[in-house]
Amino acid sequence: MMVLQGKNLKQILTAITPILLFLLAWEALSYVHVLDPALFSRPSKILSTIYTMAFVDMVKIDIDLPLVTIITGDSLYVGTLILDIISSINRLVVSFVLASIVGILIGLIMGTNPFIFRFLNVILTTFLPIPGIAWAPIFLVWLGFGDSTLIAVGFIAALFPIIQNVSISTTSVDKKMVWASKSMGANDLSLFLHVLLPNSFPFLFTGFKLGLARAWRTIIAVELISSASAGLGVMIFTAREFLQPYKIYGGIFVLAILYFMIELLLRLLEKQTIEKWGMTDMGVFYE
Amino acid sequence: MSKPSQKGENKWQKYSIVIPFLIGAILWEILAFFTILDPILFPPPSQLFFTFFNLLLNRRPSLIDHIIRSLYHIFMGYSLGVIIGISIGILMGLNRFIYNTLNPILALLIPVPTLAWVPLLLIILGLGDITIITAIFLGCFFPIVYNTLNGIRGTDKQLIWAARTMGSNRIDILLEVLFPSALLSILTGLRLSIGYAWRALVGAEMLAGITMGIGHMIYAARWGFNLDVMFTGLIIISLGGLIMDRVLIIPLEKATVLRWGLLEEKGGKQ
């Protein structure tokens, strides 16, 4: 976000120059063996590895991934890296959608009744600080290695911030607005659609943003230990076992770029909705 | 008349924190007793209680050893992160050139999940404490840098000018004006990053731990199918996260920003 904020060329240049210099220095130091090239692979090698993984080493998609089969049909050959990215993103999307549905439901239920709110809020504050990856060994035993574990852990990681923000959004509405719209003859449905829902939007957005970030981090982390068939974390950890640091660097680079893009997308969405409506970023950033 | 009722309310509040856990635990216990939930896969609370004492007293390394080693990891990683992070944040806030040089590189590295670094660290540094400490450092470094930077940059310019006209030198301005005014934001960073550090600790100990550490205990329990050990570890992790916040950050906050009357919330999120 900070890199691409600059609109004019000069700002972009000042952003890119340090990165290029950093990479050049790395390349040079590694070339003259000041940095051991077996541990600190040269950037040129990293880039060529990324290219090879993405476009040269082809692999057939034959894994049962719900989203992929819908998009690509049955047999399609893609680069191994592309497959890793697709499977990671697929897990992220599935777990995030599940967590949003369940989170919104539980959050709304919490909002209906102060007693339920207090009851569940205690449980929520206990579970919130547990890092997603701490659940991983338990789910590995419950569900085995593979997609279901990853999706479950991503789900757990994303669920709690979403519940928290949804439940807070239900209690945050200004009573005067509700009274005003009621006195002007709004029924329950239009009250919900035109007052309560827009009012809770910033909270929802914060919850979703946090949930998405947490799910992404957790899924990548759990992929490291759960030897699934494909995924960026799997790729990174396998590369470690074969002592291929250039693949790890490539994976880290791809991870950075991917999350950068997700964040850019969210930023755009935020500008189109919340900022356009004059609501600033609200909600709870517990992290 | 109002006092007793308030006291009663407080008492109710105190109980209401315990009640959800009690209900959950009793429900769980009953379900496990009638083996509706498989007690091996979902160990009931009574068993967790025994496991806790078993881990505490009968095992080698005991639970205390695990906790002490984890605290050592988190202490080393976190203090490294705090020292280096605050220094770099202040340098970036003071000097435009350093800011322009470091900001793009740091912005590129922020979105990488902390644990994705661990395989690389395993190759470079090997298994063991140093990898875990470095991972924790990486986890808490970025939020500290950026919150410190925001605090320094958000300092009221008029305060700096005023201090300058009254003849204070650069070090005085840094120590007496910039640092106190940035402290609120720095504390936000510290608070965020203790959570990050805690998370990085668990993951890094799973991947790089050798014999001790809470994360390693949970992960190693997988081989023996000891879900009770895992759940005990999970409870300790959850409590640890809460206690860290209460013991480290809140007293610090009370001693500084709250005492100085800088109450309003401010600071970054990342």
Identify the CATH number of the domain in which residue A230 sits.
Answer: 1.10.3720.10
Which of A130, A143, A153 should we substitute to test contact with B (largest number of B Cβ atoms within 10 Å)?
A130
- DSSP 8-state assignment for residue A58: E
* Pairwise CA distance, residues B241 & B198, whole Å: 7
> What is residue A67's predicted lDDT score, i.e. its pLDDT?
61
> What is residue A73's predicted lDDT score, i.e. its pLDDT?
57
Distances (CA, A) of B140 to B96, B208, B270: 24, 18, 10
Chain A residues with CB-CB distance to B41 below 8 A: 141-142
The nearest CA of chain A is from the CA of B173 a distance in Å of 28
Q: Which residue of A has its CA nearest to B235?
A: A130
The mean per-residue pLDDT over the stretch B154-166 comes to: 86
> What is residue A191's predicted lDDT score, i.e. its pLDDT?
81
Instruction: Indicate whether A281 belongs to any domain.
Output: no
> What is residue B172's predicted lDDT score, i.e. its pLDDT?
84
> What is residue B12's predicted lDDT score, i.e. its pLDDT?
63
What is the number of structural domains in chain A? Answer: 1
Nearest in space to A155 (alpha carbons), one of A221, A233, A103, A104: A103
Q: B128 and B161 in contact (C-beta within 8 Å)?
A: no
Which distant-in-sequence residues (6+ apart) come within 8 Å of A229 by Cβ?
Answer: A63, A87, A146
* Pairwise CA distance, residues B114 & B204, whole Å: 9
- The confidence band for B263, taking pLDDT boundaries of 50, 70 and 90, is low
The mean per-residue pLDDT over the stretch A227-242 comes to: 86
* Pairwise CA distance, residues B25 & B39, whole Å: 13
* Pairwise CA distance, residues B109 & B94, whole Å: 22
Q: Count A/B contacts: CB-CB distance under 8 Å.
A: 153
* Pairwise CA distance, residues B114 & B111, whole Å: 9
Beta bridge partners of A59: A78
Query: What is the identity of the amino acid at B246?
Result: R
The token pair at A23 is: 């990479």
Name the residue with higher pLDDT: B101 or A286.
Answer: B101
Instruction: Indicate whether A244 belongs to any domain.
Output: yes
Q: B175 and B155 in contact (C-beta within 8 Å)?
A: no
Q: Which residue of B has its CA nearest to A287?
A: B192
Does the beta-carbon distance from B206 to A129 stay under 8 Å?
no
Q: A248 and B117 in contact (C-beta within 8 Å)?
A: no
Chain mean pLDDT for chain A = 82
Instruction: Indicate whether A8 belongs to any domain.
Output: no
Chain A residues with CB-CB distance to B16 below 8 A: 118-119, 122
Which of A88, A125, A139, A224 should we substitute to test contact with B (largest number of B Cβ atoms within 10 Å)?
A224
Most confidently predicted of A61-65, A208-212, B136-140, B199-203: B136-140
Q: What share of chain B has pLDDT > 90, as a percent?
A: 21
pTM, full prediction: 0.84
Chain segment B57-92, per-residue pLDDT in tens? 888 888 899 999 999 999 999 999 999 999 999 999
* Pairwise CA distance, residues B129 & B125, whole Å: 10
Does the beta-carbon distance from A256 to B195 stay under 8 Å?
no
Which distant-in-sequence residues (6+ apart) come within 8 Å of B227 by Cβ?
Answer: A138, A141, B40, B41, B42, B43, B221
Instruction: Indicate whether A101 belongs to any domain.
Output: yes
Between A39, A140, A263, which is nearest B123 by CB?
A: A39
> What is residue A74's predicted lDDT score, i.e. its pLDDT?
58
Compute the half-sphere exposure of residue A270: CA atoms within 13 Å on the CB side of its CA: 18
Q: Which residue of B has its CA nearest to A254?
A: B112
Q: A205 and A271 in contact (C-beta within 8 Å)?
A: no
Q: A130 and A192 in contact (C-beta within 8 Å)?
A: no
Does the beta-carbon distance from A224 to B104 stay under 8 Å?
no
If you count DSSP H runs as helices and E runs as strands, how many of each does chain A have, helices first? 12, 2
The mean per-residue pLDDT over the stretch A259-264 comes to: 86
Between A134, A138, A220, which is nearest B202 by CB?
A: A134
Q: B123 and A243 in contact (C-beta within 8 Å)?
A: yes
Q: B218 and B206 in contact (C-beta within 8 Å)?
A: yes
Name the residue with higher pLDDT: B2 or B239.
Answer: B239
- The confidence band for A70, taking pLDDT boundaries of 50, 70 and 90, is low
Distances (CA, A) of B109 to A27, A111, A188, A245: 18, 38, 48, 17
Instruction: Indicate whether A217 belongs to any domain.
Output: yes
Instruction: Indicate whether A194 belongs to any domain.
Output: yes
Q: B256 and B187 in contact (C-beta within 8 Å)?
A: yes
pLDDT at B42 over 90: no
Between B111, B207, B269, which is nearest A225 by CB?
A: B207
Name the residue with higher pLDDT: B4 or A95.
Answer: A95
Between B107, B123, B199, which is nearest A131 by CB?
A: B199
> What is residue B79's predicted lDDT score, i.e. its pLDDT?
94
Query: What is the identity of the amino acid at A235?
Result: M
Does the beta-carbon distance from B17 to A122 stay under 8 Å?
yes
Beta bridge partners of A60: A77
Chain segment B186-219, per-residue pLDDT in tens? 888 888 888 889 889 989 999 888 888 899 999 8
Chain A residues with CB-CB distance to B17 below 8 A: 122
**How is B222-236 classified by DSSP, letter by letter?**
TTTT-HHHHHHHHHH
Instruction: Indicate whether A79 belongs to any domain.
Output: yes
Query: What is the identity of the amino acid at A67?
Result: L
Does the beta-carbon distance from A137 to B230 stay under 8 Å?
yes
Report residue A60: phi and psi, to 5°.
-85, 135
- The confidence band for B131, taking pLDDT boundaries of 50, 70 and 90, is very high
Burial class (CB within 10 angstroms; exposed 0-12, middle 13-18, buried 19+) of A164 = buried
Between A1, A138, A221, which is nearest B115 by CB?
A: A221
Cis preceding linkage at B61, omega within 30: yes
Does the beta-carbon distance from B111 to A220 stay under 8 Å?
no
Burial class (CB within 10 angstroms; exposed 0-12, middle 13-18, buried 19+) of B173 = middle
> What is residue B261's predicted lDDT score, i.e. its pLDDT?
67
Q: Which CATH number fits domain B56-260: 1.10.3720.10, 2.30.42.10, 3.30.70.580, 3.40.50.1820?
A: 1.10.3720.10
Chain B residues with CB-CB distance to A287 below 8 A: 192, 195-196, 269
The mean per-residue pLDDT over the stretch B135-141 comes to: 94
Does the beta-carbon distance from A225 to B101 stay under 8 Å?
no
Nearest in space to B72 (alpha carbons), one of B123, B132, B20: B132
**Could you give the ipTM of this predicted complex?**
0.80
- The confidence band for B9, taking pLDDT boundaries of 50, 70 and 90, is low
Compute the half-sphere exposure of residue B249: CA atoms within 13 Å on the CB side of its CA: 21
**How is A130-180 classified by DSSP, letter by letter?**
S-HHHHHHHHHHHH-SSHHHHHHHHHHHHHHHHHHHHHHHHH-S-HHHHHH
How far is C-alpha B48 from the geometric centre of its chain's CA atoms?
A: 25
The nearest CA of chain B is from the CA of A233 a distance in Å of 7
Chain segment A146-178, per-residue pLDDT in tens? 788 999 999 999 999 899 888 888 777 777 888
Look up the domain containing A89 and give its range. 41-275
Q: Which residue of B has its CA nearest to A115?
A: B16
Which of B19, B144, B194, B202 should we substitute to test contact with A (largest number of A Cβ atoms within 10 Å)?
B202
